[in-house]
Structure 1
Amino acid sequence: MYQVLIKNGPKGDELEIHSPFSNDLKIDKGSIKKGINTFDSFNLSFLPNNPAFGKIKPLTTLIRVFDSQLNKNIFKGRVLIPTDQMESNGGFNCSYTCASDLSYLQDTIQKYAKIQDTTPEQFFKYLIEVHNSQIEEHKRFIVGVVNVTNNTDNVYRYVDDLSTTWDTIQDKLISRLGGEIRVREVNGVNYIDYVTEIGEHTDTTIELSKNLISLSKSVDPTEIVTRLYPRGERLESEEETGSDASQPRLTISSVNGGRDYLDAPQELINEFGIIEKSKEWSEVTQPQILKSKGQQFLDEQKSAQTQYSLTAVDLSLINMDIRRFEVANYYLLKNPVMGIDEELRIVGIGIDIIDVETSELTIGDRFVTLSQYQIEQNKKNSALNDVADKTKSLVKKTSNLSRDLTASNKLIEEQQKQIEDALKRIKELEDANKPPDPTEQKGSDISEYNASIDWAKFKSTGHTFVMIKGGYGKESSQVNPRFSAQVNGAISTNIKIGMYWFSYATTIQEAIQEANLCCDLADKYRTNISYPISFDWENDSMKYANSLGVYPDKQLISDMALAFCNRVIERGYKAMNYSNLDYYNNYFDDRVKKYDWWLARPGVAKPDVQCSIWQSELDVDGTSRGINGNADFDISFKNY
């Protein structure tokens, strides 16, 4: 039913990598995730014998999934993130994450603008026109249907300078006026709609006795908040009439230990994780009052959101129903056990193109009060009592089967023991044939302070890699002025190259800006950057933040490191974090430690903690290595 095709660039030749007709042309795994007002994703993996092997290029390779039954593409986009891995059985697997065409709106930025006397439709068209003017032809959109409006059919907005087009649409339109974004492909052209609601009401019923395999219900607090950023009056305003101006507001930092946020009780954070939201009280002018209002808001979250997650056999695959499940459509959902008999909307769907007989659906997104939820629980309990009565009649029959099961269980235990012995033997054979660990690689890290380098001498001393400083801070004027010369010198002698960026970030957004600036610098040499790009937060980074009145703690530093590394991965590079042992233990949490680590730990025979690169000697005269000035010694335990 499903065909997967790729091509490198819009003018490349299309290559089939998965066929619904040929058993010899298959990918190993393939799943599509669709939602509302979000980028659809496609995750796939294949073995090296697939024709896609070695031909996929992140951000460049275009990919589509064609449904032969519907005669249309059900996914179309580009490849983002590659992940190659060795399976426990010794097999090599190539995995990729792809994003739909809508993600192209993340590739362009909007410039500062004051928008007034403009309808929502005109504003939306303006944003898309700005996007189209900056991007390649195949990433452009033609504005189609726009029917979202407000009472005055007029918007007054300030467009934030350098925000992405997608973030601007979310912030300036969807979050304020509502509505939903849809991309439609018509004759190979992408049309983008901004409508009140996509989808339609169908006559298909999903019910317990017919096509419902499994169903789970979750009730979460509406717009659940575990970390709240209260904001009060505007502190300054250059244009008093600019109600949408992006100007600072009163915070609670001065009365809350330097933090401008409040955390919900720990048990709520343990259950839901960190979920950040902001709320404005424009009339509040005192930090203490603002803190009280914020705490009251956290304590009084009352309403609840109901969603149902289920796996349902898609009956259209066997021609029993004429409609396929589609995101944003409404369906009648019936399950007397859980007290459900109402029309609900599909807000998410997962399509497994390998196991085509099931779809994962998320249905609901409606809001109820806690008292309404209690009524539904009583209704559900009544239905469960009916089921319990029917179950009793089965108990007697089950007892007769238990005697037969005792004998079967004994046989199963014997077979399980044989399987365990076989698996143990397989592991022994795998360990015996396991290749040796890669040889330790010698390297150094350099910066703008190393004016000249004899690269031939550097290589002759056994050095195989170099970590080059890209720059510091978030301004383009802060890049390493010798970066290009140092990169070209390393390339000329086949020295492997990595990068690091000295961080002066004080917010998550600034860390992302630093990552983007570093990756922009690396893009010219993309094929030559084989070692990771590292986030470098040190004592001077802390001093700089303190000079601005910011006192980063473990949470903030970890958040910034995570944001930096995630953006580096999104840009198609390997990510790494750099620190000494003290900062490793006290300023970075386990979320960051999932990335490769570059540990500064001189004066010991070997590193105290697991790391991929060990900075074994600091600030050593580089003359013997051909380096002008001092430079650190590094050892890589991983052959990137």
Structure 2
Amino acid sequence: MYKVYVDGRFLYFPGDEEAVITDSVVSQIMNDSGTFEFMIPDINPEYENLQARVSMLQVTKDDKEIFYGEVRSIDKDIDKIKQVYAVGELAFLFDSVQPQAKYQDLSPRQMLEIWLNIHNSQVEEKKRFYVGIVTVHDSNDSLYRFTNRETTLDCIREKLCDKLDGYLRIRKTGGKRYLDLVTLQDYGKICEQPVQFGANLIDYVENVSGEDIATACIPRGGKLDEGPIEGLEAYTDITSVNGGRDYVYIQKAVDTYGWIYKVVDWDDVFIPANLKAKAEKWLTDNQYENMTLDLSILHADFDSWELGDSIHAVAEPFGMDRYFPVFSRELHLQAPEEDRMQLGTTAKKDFVRQDQAQNSQTKNEFEKVHQTSSFLQSAIDNATQMMTGSNGGYKVTEYDEDGRWLRDLYMNAPNKEDATNIMQINMNGIGFSREGFPGPYKNAWTIDGVLTGEFIKAGTVQAEALSTEYRQSVEKFSEDKATAALDNSKKYTDGKLELYST
């Protein structure tokens, strides 16, 4: 049941003869403030109390807040019916301006915190934000940014979200409003109930045609030192683990649409089994990542789905088996049959309404290791937010054929085939993957004492002194070794990865 409050007082209560509003619609889009629009008659006790730029509105569903924001405009027609338009609280960040400044050698969390502190110094308490969970990174966690009197929201979206593939999420706890900057997989919950599409999948797709869909994938991995054909570069392939074939395919899709091949590159993958797993996932999952699915004509039961949640979408004739995020939804408080919802990520490309210059900066320096106490404190603060602000996940314990403990998996999905974020613990160590169970496990601590990490937060290594060639060789060896240590079907011999059957 929906309820609406204005400055803490009832504005709308279903069934009440006076607390009435009509034609009320909540619109939400990821990385956007969202809006709330409605009509209010003069019988409502709060009719005269609504004020633009003053009144704060809250919409709840089953006593859970789904919208909070500020009234921005009020229009009255000849029948004294007022049309009210409100914007969500993310728009508070439009009310402050960042000064002309240059920032460098900062982590994304530090950058966000500085801008929010400047914002907070310019606005009243009800519009303030505090830095929350930050899970995005750049290549070396050392940002270089300018600000030139843009609004705070423009700075965050253009200089952090766009460039780091991040999403903004608001959380409220302890009387404070926190702004998280997270990756897509860290945003919402995973919904287990799948949405089934048939051969008419394209009817629901807004931006992909049938010509964009492949039924077979030829994966091409990392470059090899030598190849069978002189003069041609050679790459890791899957023939050794795929019956001599260098491709994977979906039989149902081939039977329906014929053979449609596509070559896909994974330059950093040198293990054939891992390359095959990535190709199979791409064929059923990643090739559809740019799709936008309109569920308004599907009449699906998406009552419990929230913005940023991951929805399991299946279309057997196409071989599609993928999780799509809810990137926008339109909720009609008095007419739920008119609700709309869209799945996908393309809306993220449209949320900034003005043109942006795509300036690229050549990076010639190797990853910088920060030695300042402020950088380390920022990392500690972010870890604290991640550990205390988590919504939970799933734990699975696996055993071998003899009933002996094999591994514990802590995941963001109920099974390892669907999970993207995985922490694995087995007798060989602890590893973290953001690319599913096959890995790579880029962050790991293995039993032989090797600690592999993408980002070093303390100043114990002068990384600038390492050559790029040496760094890349160490990174590749460490990743492969960590992945092998956490997979019981692999072992290391003389520093090289070898496969064997269990």
Question: TM-score when scaled to structure 1?
Answer: 0.39
Structure with more helix by fraction: 1
- Greater relative contact order (CA < 8 Å, ≥ 6 in sequence): 2
Larger Rg belongs to = 1
Question: TM-score when scaled to structure 2?
Answer: 0.49
